[in-house]
Amino acid sequence: MLCDDSAAARAVMSRMLSSDPGIEVIAKATDGTEAVAQLTAMKAPDRPQVILLDLEMPRMDGMTALPHLLRVAPETSIIVASALSQRGAKATMEALRAGAVDYVPKPTAAAGGMNGGQFQAELVAKVKGWARMRRRGPAIPTAMPRMAVPLAPALGVAAAAGTLKPRIIAIGSSTGGPQALAALVARLNRPLGVPVVAVQHMPAGFTTLLADHLNRIGALPCSEAKDGEALLPGRFYLAPGDRHLLVKDAGQGFVAQLSDGPPENFCRPAVDPLLRSVVAACQGKVLAAILTGMGSDGLAGSRALVAAGGQVLAQDEASSVVWGMPGAVAKAGIAAAVTSIEDIAERIVAAGGNGRRT
């Protein structure tokens, strides 16, 4: 279902989604009131698996409609569409806390508008990914940890570095990442002796609010990284939107360096620059986790990390919205484990809990 007050936006998104044979647009609404009425009139088997919900609409806006839609169809994934602005970012995080599973930022005219291929790729990937997650079960991993999923023999598994004592922990994520990071951070419930640095593909402004959201739900203090600040053990640092996050060795510790270098893998921030920097700063003593996301950002950096003696964990396909980034690492045979968010969190706590600078 598409819910947007702009007829042009509905037409463009409908065309983009319908171009994929795996997607069918079964309903369109001009505001929240109409969307709730249409959904209520549908029988459960005929309801949409995904609703794309604009946040800014007359009569009933997306935030007002969200709880009503979830009450009528709790099994439906709701992806909110928001403006690329501070106000849009704040509304997006409020929607995610209220039960939306993900968001798509509406591109500005300066960025090519909705005719851009990157917007279409992200839109299609998120719709298909969250529909698949709903068919498989809860979108957010349950609190009960489960064992690591064995990796298919065809992929191979890198030898686990059981004696690795990381000097830093690095995380990369993209599509579906905000939910995955929230689930991960909520499970980092014991003190860590090393800093945690993370890249989530997100626009400027959105990362500030994501860091604040993560800070509220986890035991680790979380913040957006600042240029030149010391990276302290037991803290979680998120790369700010539109800046690469690099880690530099400062002798007795590490400092963050923000870079305006060119995008890599069409992204800034990107995971590969972060991983290259931690390999150099830590002489390879790094534990990295590559989480759900489109593309293969993080693969080259993971290769360099493993070659230097570090260890990489990859999120499994079953719990990933899009198994692009972690799948690339898994298929390359360089992951020490391909496993769930719950197990990745346990491994991070086990490795970083006794982490110390050596």
Rounded-to-integer distance, Cα 34 and Cα 18, Å: 22
Give the C-alpha distances (Å, rounded to integers) separating 281 from 33, 70, 216: 54, 46, 30
The tens digit of pLDDT for each residue in 137-189 reads 544 443 223 333 333 333 444 444 456 799 999 999 999 999 999 999 999 98
Q: 3-state SS of 305-336? A: HHHCCCEEEEECHHHCCCECHHHHHHHCCCCC
310-349 pLDDT, tens per residue? 999 999 999 999 999 999 999 999 999 999 999 999 999 9
Q: Is residue 243 a contact partner of residue 257, using CB atoms and an 8 Å limit?
A: no
Q: What pLDDT score was predicted for residue 156?
A: 42
Confidence grade of residue 85 (pLDDT, cut at 50, 70, 90): confident
40-75 pLDDT, tens digit each: 999 988 999 999 999 999 999 999 999 999 999 999
φ/ψ (deg, to 5) at 26: -105, -10
Q: Mean pLDDT, the chain, as a whole number? A: 88
Q: Is 223 a known active-site residue?
A: no
Domains, in order of start, for the chain: 2-134 (3.40.50.2300), 168-352 (3.40.50.180)
Per DSSP bridges, beta strands 254-259 and 168-173 are unpaired
> What gap in Å lies between CA 104 and CA 83, rounded to an integer?
9
Please compute the mean of the pLDDT values over residues 5-16 and round it to a whole number.
93
Whether the CB-CB separation of 193 and 352 falls below 8 Å is answered with yes
Strand partners, 199: 172
Q: Which of 201, 213, 296, 320 is catalytic?
A: 201
Q: What pLDDT digit, counting tens, does each position of 220-257 carry?
A: 999 999 999 999 999 999 999 999 999 999 988 999 99
Tell me whether residue 4 is one of the annotated catalytic residues: no
Q: With residue 105 as reference, give the H or E element that holds it.
A: strand 102-106
Instruction: Note if 201 is an active site residue.
Output: yes
Given the residues 77, 174, 277, 302, the one annotated as active site = 174
Q: Predicted confidence band at 88 (pLDDT cuts at 50, 70, 90)? A: confident
Q: Is the pLDDT of residue 357 over 60?
A: no
Q: What pLDDT, on a 0 to 100 scale, did the predictor assign at position 109? A: 53
Q: Which pLDDT score, from 0 to 100, does residue 153 have?
A: 33
Out of 54, 102, 272, 297, pick the active-site residue: 297
